[in-house]
Amino acid sequence: MKLAKLGLGLALAVCLASTASAQTTMRISISVGQNSHQGVGIDVFAAEVEKRTAGRYKIQTFYNGALGGERESIEAVQLGTQELTMTSTGPIPNFVPEARILDIPFLFSGKAHAQAVLDGPIGQDMLTKFDSKGFKALAWAENGVRHMTNSKRAVNLPEDLKGLKMRTMENPVHVAAYKGFGIVPTPMAFPEVFTALQQGTVDGQENPLSVIMAAKFDQVQKHLTLTGHVYSPCVFLMNKAAFDKLSTADKSAFLEAAKVAAKANRARVADDDAKGVAELRSKGMSVVENVDKAKFVAALLPVYAEFDKQFGKAEIDKIRNFK
């Protein structure tokens, strides 16, 4: 009898102890590989969350679109079937239309300007626009400055883009702008791009050096031109209900973790940008480094007129002129 009571007491104690140290596992995904600027981002995020919550939260990391492409992952986070994702803003306008403005070509003068806008009041206010759509946007991170690659010809002038069939992100702003260049845009999820380039379904694609290297597009693309036509942000997204359930201290832990992760991610982009051209050349790509950007901007003037109407010129100028 006594022994049985002791047994029961022990079982209860074990049960309580395991509740006290209960671990919640969450999932985060990216569409590119682990050895990349985004891989660094989610690896650091996972480590920081675990550290800052004393291991009560474990973040499982998924790479290479293992849980689906970016649009699918965003959808899953919105529904709550997946807690977290790190994604480019490519498919975001389909969920948060206000974010479209960030993907306007040549909106930012460079990475420093883009980072200042995203880290400043405009960017921080934009993060709150995700709230009513079922997301908690934890922090901006970076995909990088996008450049064009193709298998057909060297691109020196905007005219050289005419008639090229290019994979684009599933983003209406990109599709409209690339049409302005005379490109034939083919929106496609990222996990399909390598095969599409390999099989010649499309002639080219555009992405930051970080992505071109991580996805090994040099194996299926001959020509790279540093068009720098658009800055591509990334964002750490969490399911809103999952975030709201966290204690106040844990909310801070997740937010801080995303900030630290974004810093590491931006540092890796800087590193990739510094060595990317040499590395891609060594892998056989032929690179046009200097283009007359003003000519590429001029090619988009009719599209800009359309964007001014859609977004309001004042809203666009607010970003362009932000210091």
Question: How far are the Cα atoms of 198, 216, 256 from residue 252, in angstroms, in the given order?
Answer: 44, 37, 6
Q: Which is nearer to ligand EAX, 32 or 237 (CB)?
A: 32
CB of 312 to ligand EAX, least distance (A): 27
CB of 294 to ligand EAX, least distance (A): 25
Residue 207 is a binding residue for ligand EAX (CB under 6 A):
yes
Q: Which is nearer to ligand EAX, 169 or 224 (CB)?
A: 169
CB of 140 to ligand EAX, least distance (A): 13
Interacting positions 213-242 with ligand EAX (CB under 6 A): 232
Residue 73 is a binding residue for ligand EAX (CB under 6 A):
no
Q: Which is nearer to ligand EAX, 78 or 168 (CB)?
A: 168
Residue 70 is a binding residue for ligand EAX (CB under 6 A):
yes
CB of 145 to ligand EAX, least distance (A): 11
CB of 131 to ligand EAX, least distance (A): 23
d(C-alpha 102, C-alpha 68), whole Å: 24
Residue 190 is a binding residue for ligand EAX (CB under 6 A):
yes
d(C-alpha 85, C-alpha 165), whole Å: 30
CB of 17 to ligand EAX, least distance (A): 42
Interacting positions 244-273 with ligand EAX (CB under 6 A): none
Sign of CA pseudo-dihedral 98, 100, 104, 108: positive
Residue 171 is a binding residue for ligand EAX (CB under 6 A):
no
Residue 142 is a binding residue for ligand EAX (CB under 6 A):
no
Q: Which of 27, 28, 31, 67 binds ligand EAX (CB under 6 A)?
A: 31
Residue 143 is a binding residue for ligand EAX (CB under 6 A):
yes
Three-state SS string across the chain, please?
Answer: CHHHHHHHHHHHHHHHHHHHCCCEEEEEECCCCCCCHHHHHHHHHHHHHHHHCCCCEEEEEECCCCCCCHHHHHHHHHHCCCCEEEEECCCHHHCCHHHHHHHCCCCCCCHHHHHHHHHCHHHHHHHHCCHHHCEEEEEEEEEEEEEEEECCCCCCCHHHHCCCEEEECCCHHHHHHHHHCCCEEEECCHHHHHHHHHCCCCCEEEEEHHHHHHCCHHHCCCEEEEEEEEEEEEEEEEEHHHHHCCCHHHHHHHHHHHHHHHHHHHHHHHHHHHHHHHHHHHCCCEEECCCCHHHHHHHCHHHHHHHHHHHCHHHHHHHHCCC
Binding-site size for ligand EAX (CB under 6 A) equals 11
Residue 149 is a binding residue for ligand EAX (CB under 6 A):
no
Residue 164 is a binding residue for ligand EAX (CB under 6 A):
no
Q: Which of 82, 88, 186, 225 binds ligand EAX (CB under 6 A)?
A: 88
Q: Which is nearer to ligand EAX, 145 or 169 (CB)?
A: 169
Q: Which of 39, 41, 90, 158 binds ligand EAX (CB under 6 A)?
A: 90
Contacts (Cβ under 8 Å, ≥6 apart) of 286: 154, 222, 223, 224
Q: Which of 46, 101, 173, 211 binds ligand EAX (CB under 6 A)?
A: 211
Binding site for ligand EAX (CB under 6 A): 31-32, 70, 88, 90, 143, 169, 190, 207, 211, 232
